[in-house]
Copies of this chain bind each other. A is one copy, B any other.
Amino acid sequence: MTATNRQITLAARPVGLPKETDFRLIESPMPEPAPGEILVRSLFLSVDPYMRARMGEGPNYADPVGIGDVMVGEVVGEVVESNNPRFSEGTLVAGLLGWQEYAVTDGSDLRPVLTGEAPISTALHVLGMAGLTAYVGLLDICQAREGDTVVVSAAAGAVGSIVGQIARIHGCRVIGIAGSDSKVEFIVKELGFDGGFNYKTTEHYTRRLAELCPDGIDVYFDNVGGSITDAVFPLLRLGARIGICGQISQYNLEKPELGPRLLAYLIIKRARIQGFLVTDHFDRYPQATAELGAWMASGRLKVREQIADGLEKAPAAFIGMLQGANTGKQLVRIAEHE
């Protein structure tokens, strides 16, 4: 065990797309758990779109990360020292422990890692927040039902790839929108989506969607926003449901962009838009992870990970994820699990 703790802090509030210089790698003294606390060694860190919003000072659902503070992030780790009878050494835990090699916590904000036969890293995606986001967003918020046509944006990403597969399992027809031909191939050939297109090489999104969804769209699960989302509205079916999970196309804009006004479509189609945050739905973890775990074990739900090695790679992995460099879940391995 090293005597120091490497951490990545927020060095500057990004303008537009974050740069590596917006982060700083520092070495701090190894934290020591007080009575009732535990020391957790990080194994994997998840990098996610929501972090971009937390780096800024705009209106948000949580306070921004302070300049000089450790970046916020979910980690799966191992208890290496315990002054808390609830946690024995060697226990695996997950929680918002930040971009750092070690963290001290009283454990109240941790959840157990119940990955069974699956790799422990899945606690950070399919059996973690991404999986819960997809499950709750598609089934509770969008109320996808058998026979629905479901469209999902960022379809090859951590959440979108799970959304599409849950929809298939529930008997929906699923179309994914992604940012490269290889991502489209991945979601259609590997994950079993009914179709998809590469928005970077497609000129008329609505026209392409109309070809892929000849009966219109019942459910749209939105991770992206912007012109991709605009394209969905003319194709909504009566009673359509739109779940707003993320708006990644908007997070790095230096100036807010304008778009067409879309609300009149909602009247014509008696359609609903609902924004949601997974943190409101943690009570659904047990059912969601039980179902997702079973689908994964039976091979009906496939996951792909993209892993960067070493805490120092976290900023680059995060910036790449914001640009769509990843297919499937982007993780950072901070230490090997012995």
- A residues near B (Cβ < 8 Å) are 59-61, 222, 225-226, 229, 234, 244-247, 250, 256-261, 263-277, 280
Contact = CB atoms under 8 A, between A and B. Distances in A.
Contacts of A60: 268
A226 B274 CA distance: 20
A258 B61 CA distance: 27
B275 A269 contact: yes
Contact of A280 (B256, B264, B270): B270
Contacts of A258: 258-261
Contact of A266 (B226, B257, B270, B273): B273
Contact of A275 (B234, B268, B280): B268
A231 to B, nearest CB: 14
Contact of A277 (B61, B229, B265, B270): B270
A55 to B, nearest CB: 15
21 contacts: A59-B234, A60-B268, A61-B267, A229-B263, A244-B266, A245-B267, A247-B264, A247-B267, A256-B260, A256-B261, A257-B261, A258-B259, A259-B259, A259-B260, A266-B275, A267-B275, A268-B275, A270-B275, A270-B280, A271-B274, A273-B273
A267 B274 CA distance: 8
Contact of A59 (B61, B256, B266, B268): B268
Question: Which 3 pairs across A and B sit closest by C-beta, in order of nearness?
Answer: A266-B275, A258-B258, A267-B275
Contacts of A245: 267
Contacts of A229: 263
Nearest to A227: B261
A276 B280 contact: no
A259 B61 CA distance: 23
A270 B261 contact: no
Contact of A250 (B264, B268, B277, B280): B264
Contacts of A59: 234, 265, 268
Nearest to A259: B261
A226 B280 CA distance: 31
A59 B280 CA distance: 36
A256 B272 CA distance: 22
Nearest to A266: B275
A226 to B, nearest CB: 7
A245 B226 CA distance: 24
B261 A226 contact: yes
Interface centre among A222, A226, A247 (most CB of B within 10 A): A247
